[in-house]
A and B are shown apart, each in its own frame.
Chain A
């Protein structure tokens, strides 16, 4: 399933909770159902960011571990449903 990415944010080297705040602000600019791609570090960020996004009602629709250990997440803004 191809997921169309509407916006991207590279949050490598950005620590908690700033990475989450940046992702949240970006999501606010999107429409419900649109997809944000973020790259976050392993360790603290991967422990906290997915959980905090879930708690805000967003859906994580894709996860991929990059070769450098970072994670690529696809987040669907709350309120929408993915088609396709």
Chain B
């Protein structure tokens, strides 16, 4: 009896022993890319679609609805990582579904030990808090890294601001938008709005003059001061991504901490490439192990930080903290 997800048996058991010898009707490449999840019901699978950043153009959605009506159940499920899933698909229809979705360039997602579809918040185009373009990056990262085989699953997310809706500390690798503010004394009228706008206590205004004093150690780099200042005396000094590494959720969650600050869009693919290469090399022979578990071993953590410093220099922060267990049990 087979009731395990395909991802667990991938490459170990041939498909024909699982699905009644109907090998000829199955598109092996489609199966291998993952995204096909065995249901409890005989012959039934859930098909997970690839929706980077949770964004689905309406034109694609129309096609997805057509396909769902024809081949799947009477609902779609929104996965926890922002993808559309079509339940109750007979494996005999995989090929037809794959081909019809291909007409609108809608791809199937993945399961298993590889780089997964990146998730992201709605992004800076219309969210007033957004500092960095998360949607652009999710698309780019999906194109460049999706499906890369690794010792275990590898999840990447993008949050546009420190509110961190995409939960970067729970990802194997998370990127969060941030802006470092800079104050111009000349144009400041001492109105104190910035100190009221800052909910972190990083700005205090002089009781006499109203001029602000900035405490960077308390600043989360959200940019509220910049947006609130009536005279534009608070300006953007540096903008970029804060990088967190080694987090995960699941039965034994791990919190990933900040490793780098204010890296540019151009640096993001370099960071991902460097880190997944390290994970690939250092995860070898350890079985199914997440990067956050490896990074909790002190010598591995030191080696990891040193490697990143060689590659990225001053962008790596002083004394970064390794991932820690989030004790929930």
Known interface pairs A60-B230, A63-B230; A51-B192 also in contact (CB < 8 Å): no
| A46 touching B189 in the complex, CB below 8 Å, given contacts A60-B230, A63-B230 | no
**B305 adjacent to chain A (CB < 8 Å):** no
Say how far A80's CB is from chain B's closest CB, in angstroms: 16
Among B128, B197, B231, which residue has its beta carbon within 8 angstroms of that of A47?
B197
- B residues near A60, Cβ cutoff 8 Å: 230-231
CB of A55 within 8 A of CB of B197, answer no
Cross-interface CB contact of A63 among B191, B199, B224, cutoff 8 Å? B191
Q: Are A63 and B193 in contact (CB under 8 A)?
A: yes
Q: Mark A54-77, 1 if CB is under 8 A from B, else 0.
A: 110001110111000001010000
Known contacts: A42-B196, A55-B128. The answer to whether A50 contacts B228 by CB under 8 A is yes
Chain B residues with a Cβ closer than 8 Å to the other chain, count: 14
Is chain B's interface secondary structure helix, strand, loop, or mixed overall? Answer: loop
Would you give the shortest CB distance from A74 to chain B, in whole angstroms? Answer: 9
CB-CB contacts below 8 Å: B194-253 with A: 196-197, 199, 210, 224, 227-228, 230-231
Q: Which residues of B contact A59 (CB under 8 A)?
A: 230
Is there contact, CB below 8 Å, between A51 and B228? Answer: yes
Mark out the residues of chain A between 19 and 73 whose CB falls within 8 Å of any chain B CB in the assembled complex: 42-43, 46-47, 50-52, 54-55, 59-61, 63-65, 71, 73
Q: Give min CB distance, B126 to chain A, whole Å.
A: 11
Q: Please give me the residue from chain A that is nearest to B227 by CB atom.
A: A51
Q: Are A65 and B128 in contact (CB under 8 A)?
A: no
In the assembly, what is the distance between CA of A59 and CA of B196, in Å?
A: 19
Contact A47 B224 (CB under 8 A): yes
Known A-B contacts A50-B228, A51-B228; the reply to A71 vs B128 at CB < 8 A is: no
Using Cβ atoms and an 8 Å threshold, which residues of chain B touch A64? 191
In this complex, the member of B193, B199, B210, B224 whose beta carbon has the largest number of chain A beta carbons within 10 angstroms is B193
Partner of B197, one of A51, A61, A65: A51
CB of B295, distance to nearest CB on chain A (Å): 37
Please give me the residue from chain A that is nearest to B191 by CB atom.
A63
A55 to B224, CA, bound (A): 13
How far does the Cβ of A35 sit from chain B's closest Cβ, in whole Å? 13
CA distance A73 to B210 in the complex (A): 16
With A and B bound together, what is the CA distance between A73 and B231 in angstroms?
13
Known A-B contacts A60-B230, A63-B230; A50 and B193 likewise in contact (beta carbons under 8 Å): yes
Verify B228–A47 contact, CB threshold 8 A.
yes
Q: From known contacts A55-B128, A63-B189, A63-B191, infer whether A47 and B196 are also in contact, taking CB-CB under 8 Å.
A: yes
For B128, list chain A residues within 8 Å (CB).
51-52, 55
Shortest CB–CB separation between residue A17 and chain B, in angstroms? 11
Chain A residues closer than 8 Å to B193, beta-carbon distance: 46, 50, 63, 71
Which residues does A use to contact B, with CB under 8 Å?
Answer: 42-43, 46-47, 50-52, 54-55, 59-61, 63-65, 71, 73
5 A-B pairs within 8 Å (CB atoms) are namely A42-B196, A50-B197, A51-B128, A51-B228, A61-B230
